[in-house]
Structure 1
Amino acid sequence: MDEFLKWYFSDRPVIASTLGADGYDHTLGDFTAAAWTAREQEEVRWLDRLSALRTASPDDTIDRDLVLSQLRGSIALASWPAWRRDPATYLSAIFASMFTPFQHRLKPEPELVPAAVSRLAEVPGVLAACRANLDPDLAAPLLVQRGLGQARTGRNFLTRTIPSMVQDEGLRATLAEAAEPAARAFDELVAFLEGFECGGSWRMGEKLYSTLLREREMLAYGAAELHEKGKAAWAELDERMRRVARGVNGTEDWRAAMDSLMDDHPPTLADMRAEYEVETQRARAFVKEHDLVTFADGEQCHVLPSAEYTRPVLSVAHYLSPPPLGASRTGVFFVPYTPDDFTPEQVRQRLRTNSRATMPSIAVHEAYPGHHWHLSYMAGNPRTVRKVFRTPYFTEGWALYVEKVLHQEGYFDTPATELAHLDCRIFRAARIVVDTALHCGDMSVEEAETFMATKASLSPGTAQGEVNRYCAWPTQAPSYLTGAIEIDRIRESFRGSPKEFHDRIAGSGGLPLGLAEQAALA
């Protein structure tokens, strides 16, 4: 396993340094077509080698099967190569490699800046590979436009945002100077993408979608069954919300009730961040008082505006975990700021989607005992491979599962916050329905946007951003409620207290759910 990880890190230095592995922070890696092809061939060899590996303990078996699930998923995706379809494959690596080290600040500036300068020198080559590798017959206009929105933030991000994170004036000047050639490369990419004509599809198709569910996520069902599960969950939640809505507006119209609740929101983006910070600390105190989990030593969760480069493509709150291979246990809950070119009405709609009734559920999901608690606690697991590979079907499933736990414990203590909690859940049921239908060819983008705006309490603008994300990230959107339901099912078979269950299953990593069940019930 150590040998495999050495190869994996050497081949993916940005991922390695983001995880906190030493020795990989001076390079972006090889993004040429030859490198992608060689990587795919090497994955097949590793799959064969590890499949034949005998293990000495149940934990070793889980480690091996975790890697095999990741390899099987990656090999299946070779038939759907993102590196030929989606500019984000290149852009995300550049943005993460520059932003994350300065955000975490695990090393002093005299070490961070030279590493960033070294990576900046490689940016033109990576973006040249992007231009060379994008296939007009495979790339979809929707994905190219999404990438174009990100690429347009590149110059400002490299020449202003990142240097502004450096305190030493001399080092800041050095970084800004090194950023200029990389910024010109972004300008060239923007011009290229603006004129790039393509005719590929973003739809994955039922066969590959189901293969990923079964092989990578280790679920016992495929896309069609998952779609039906989403519809059934939506119907059950719709019935519950009709009852709760009576306490909000006196009727069973929960959409109208949620619409009225959305009018009570922070007045500005800065106020939204400040109120989320207060709610995050309230959630932490509640979890500690009710003794629901064991906290990692030294954990902290900062609540900050979302990074500039994520704003064109992420319309919801999100989280940056502490590097699990390092000593830090400090994570960041990013509040979903809007791009600078948004109109006042678009900003208002973003604020409405983050209403005061909804904030408690989102803070629980992103911070305590959701993503931040989970990922800071599991970083203490001694098995390295568990820190490297995790699936959203566990991590997002966990965060939604604990929303339900806190509801049962009385955290959502008014009809308004209870209805908002259920709305967050029915939103995830709608995601299952829409994502499976989109990628299996049963729903258009316009139909999906209407579904999300009418079957959950999303503004039209936020629904549009959500559906755009689903098109670009197949199988991820269903992970929330699917994982939560599966963790609930595992909990029913566990003999022990809620705290013991939470520490064991979440502390075992972010495993595919079949392996999480083995770890919890062993």
Structure 2
Amino acid sequence: MKKALISLSVAAVLTGLVGCQDPVTSSNASAEAAQNSVSSQQATQLSFADFSQSFIDDLWLLAPTWAMYNGKHINDGYLDVPNQASRDKTLAFVVKQKGLLNTFNQDTLSANELIDYKLLENLVNKFEWEVNTFKSWQWDPSSYNVAGGFAQIINEDFAPLDERLISVIARLESVPAYYQAAKDNINNPTLAHTQLAIQQNRGAFSVLNDDLANKVAQSGLNAEQKAMFTSRFNSAKQAINTYIDWLTVLETDLQANGSRDFRIGEDLYEQKFALDIQAGMTAKQLYDKAVEDKNRVQAEMAKITTDIWAKHIDTAKPADDKLAIRQLIDVLSSKHVKREDFVDDVRKQIPELVKFVNDKQLITLDPKKPLVVRETPEYMRGFAGASISAPGPYEKGSNTYYNVTPLDDMTDESAESYLREYNHWILQVLNIHEAIPGHYTQLVYSNQSPSLVKSLFGNGAMVEGWAVYTERMMLEEGYGNFEPEMWLMYYKWNLRVIANTILDYSIQVKGMGEQDAIALMENEAFQQRAEAEGKWRRATLSQVQLTSYYSGYREIYDFREELKAEKGADFDLKQFHEQFLSYGSAPVKYIRQLMK
């Protein structure tokens, strides 16, 4: 999913840029001053390439932590305190960049430049919308967590350890002010985001722990630096614990007296969908398309079930197709790995996927770009069971991590349900999606794009859509030997992607409750109870992102089929894949324009 689940997504950093208090006159004054400072004469002298680089440079000065996640080390020791001053700077940046964008005649830009223009325009519009309209900095306590930045400095070997530890010491100084600002900002939060904040901030101590203290003690830092670390380290841990305690009291109050609804409603949902997905259709139109696709996929599953029923079940097949599909899936799902082998089994499957892609010549894989399967760090747990953390375009040679959450904390019942969901067949599809040739492969190509704008500010629907597209593509090319059981389970997985869109829209816009949501996932998408409950939780904590899988997949697959029909025997699948990915993580509708 994007770093944030796939790569560090724009949405993941927005709160860090705008997590401040209510608007005051100084915000408007700062923005006005920034606009007045933009000289039209200077702007017209900039080429678009110069402007794009200037935009990125200004953004990294505004948000050095975001730069660090992308491999650009501007000021790693700086931790932005999400207060009013931070809000002022963000709005000033927005107004300045809008003024510069307006000086360009879009008709004179090349196709590649125009796409970059649209991406930058969308980015600043999203910043502004988050500040003035969405205001999640007020109601989402989970957006405040310092662990990620520290983990990036400590775990990534981009500089000598002592140098990185000096940045850690500098960064620690602002942790108490950071969490004080967080408490000042939070107003009428949702219960779900408050509980997530408690869980994930407890996980921060997996980063700020004794191991870090030992690294400092054994380092080459001088006595004064080590003493400063100890003092700031203790203050930072106290600040995190104080925040957790404060949230725990808040949680009790919200449970007793009620809290803000996590649902954002139709107007905000459509606005967020337009900014996040950029799909050329409304959220309602995508929802309607997903409902149609759900019915089509269920029909395909019914055909397969009829064909292989007698192979697996001795009793007569029920007349009700959905009941028959569910019963067959239940029988097949008993084939899965042991809970203690879950992470290791994922690790073992990666070379098999690499070999298949290479043998079939589906896309060029770079053996010099490492993929490391690891247990999901504790501070990242509680949102998704598997994710990719990829390096940015400035550190293309750094590790890409495939985060897989072990099942240690689950009850036996929950673990069995989870393993039945990620059974023998679906676990392979998951690894295609997250790793080869899904997210990992796409993000390697994205980092090679000549356009930094497309690599840095990519479209989440394209990123997720590519991963979903590769699942079907691999099976079409013979992965799994066209085994009907594999296709049945693939359709079940694909139905989950479709159901994600239906579920997210139904919950956030139509007010669907938990029991109806669980019923949709279990009865219509044939999911296990643990998976359905996890998806409900995810849909209460995010908005729109769940639609990105289906939206991007549908656009990519339909475009490929269109080109195949046009080119006939001249169509080259490998060439299509490599050309498609060469444009970075741009919205599919723009890639389509370039390739056409």
Tell me the TM-score normalized by structure 1. 0.91
The reply to whether residue 150 of structure 1 matches residue 221 of structure 2 is no
> Does structure 1 residue 489 correspond to structure 2 residue 558?
yes
SS at match of 1:303: strand
Is residue 76–residue 208 contact of structure 1 (8 Å, CA) maintained in 2? Answer: no
**How far apart are the structure 2 equivalents of 1:156 and 1:74?**
31
Q: How big is the shift at 1:167?
A: 10
Deviates more, 1:197-206 or 1:468-477: 197-206
| Aligned residue identity for 1:145 | Q
- Cα deviation, residue 44, structure 1: 3.8
Q: Which of residues 562, 580, 583 is equivalent to 1:505?
A: 580
Distance 1:215 1:102 in 2: 33
Aligned-residue CA RMSD (Å): 2.5
2:373 to 303, 308, 313: 303
Q: Deviations over 1:192-230 (max 9, x none)?
A: 111224532221221222223334432222122121112
> How many Å separate the matches in 1 of 2:202 and 2:275?
36
Matched, 1:436 2:486: no
Partner AA of 1:506 in structure 2 = L
What pairs with 1:66-465 in structure 2 (closer than 5 Å)? 66-77=119-130, 78-91=132-145, 94-136=146-188, 139-160=189-210, 169-170=218-219, 178-196=232-250, 197=253, 199-246=259-306, 247=308, 249=312, 251=317, 253-269=324-340, 271-296=341-366, 298-314=368-384, 316-328=385-397, 330-338=399-407, 341-413=409-481, 414-465=483-534
Distance in 1, matches of 2:216 and 2:370, equals 23
Structure 1 residues 454 and 163, CA gap change in structure 2 (3 angstroms): farther
- The DSSP-based 3-state class of the residue aligned with 1:84 is helix
Structure 1 position 60 matched with structure 2 position 113: yes
Q: How many angstroms does 1:452 deviate by?
A: 2.1
Pick closer, same or farther for the CA change 1:321–1:35 going to 2, 3 Å: same
Larger radius of gyration: 2
Does the 8 A contact of 1:159 with 1:180 survive in 2?
no
Shift of 1:443: 0.8
Distance 2:103 2:127 in 1: 19
The 1-side partners of 2:476 and 2:245 are apart by 53
Partner Cα separation in structure 2 for residue 470 and residue 366 of structure 1:
20
Instruction: Tell me the equivalent position of 2:65.
Output: 14
- Decide whether the 8 Å contact of 2:438 with 2:466 is kept in 1: yes
Give the equivalent residue in structure 1 for 2:538: 469
In structure 1, the residue matched to 2:97 is 46
CA distance, structure 2, for counterparts of residue 168 and residue 255 of structure 1: 57
Greater shift in the superposed pair: 476-485 or 36-45: 36-45
8 Å CA contact 2:206–2:379 kept in 1: the answer is no
Number of equivalenced pairs: 513
Matched, 1:28 2:98: no
Please state whether the residue corresponding to 2:372 is helix, strand or coil: strand
CA contact under 8 A between 1:300 and 1:331: conserved in structure 2? yes
Deviations 1:111-136 (A, max 9, x none): 22222222222222211111110112
Task: Go from structure 1 to structure 2 and tell me whether the alpha carbon gap of 1:458 and 1:327 turns closer, same or farther (over 3 Å shift).
Answer: same
Percent identity reads: 21
Question: Given residue 281 of structure 1, which amino acid in structure 2 is its aligned partner?
Answer: P
Deviates more, 1:495-504 or 1:139-148: 495-504
Maintained 8 Å contact 2:278/2:587: yes
Q: 1:261 to 1:66 in 2, by over 3 A?
A: same
- Between the aligned partners of 2:115 and 2:561, the Cα distance in structure 1 is 21
Larger CA deviation: 180-189 vs 494-503? 494-503
Does the aligned pair in 1 maintain the 2:462–2:588 contact within 8 Å? yes
Per-residue deviation, 1:318: 0.8
Distance 1:44 1:426 in 2: 42
Alpha carbons 2:162, 2:219 under 8 Å: kept? no
Give the deviation of 1:88 after TM superposition: 2.1
Matched with 2:4 is none
Deviation readout 1:416-442 (Å, 9 max, x if unpaired)? 322222111100111100101111133
Counterpart residue identity of residue 396, structure 2: A
Instruction: Assess if the C-alpha contact under 8 Å between 1:104 and 1:322 holds in 2.
Output: no
Aligned equivalents of 1:106 and 1:244: distance in 2? Answer: 51
Greater shift after overlay, 250-259 or 398-407?
250-259
Gap change, CA 1:124 and 1:225, over 3 Å in 2:
same
How many angstroms apart in 1 are the aligned matches of 2:122 and 2:446? 20
1:399: how far off? 0.2
Aligned amino acid, residue 62 of structure 1: I
Give per-residue Cα distances to partners, 1:481-512, cap 9 Å, x unaligned.
11101011222343541111111222211112
- Which residues of structure 1 form unaligned runs of 5+? none
Q: Deviations over 1:18-38 (max 9, x none)?
A: 000122321222311331244
Instruction: Extract unaligned runs of 5+ from structure 2.
Output: 1-51
> Is 1:514 aligned with 2:589?
yes
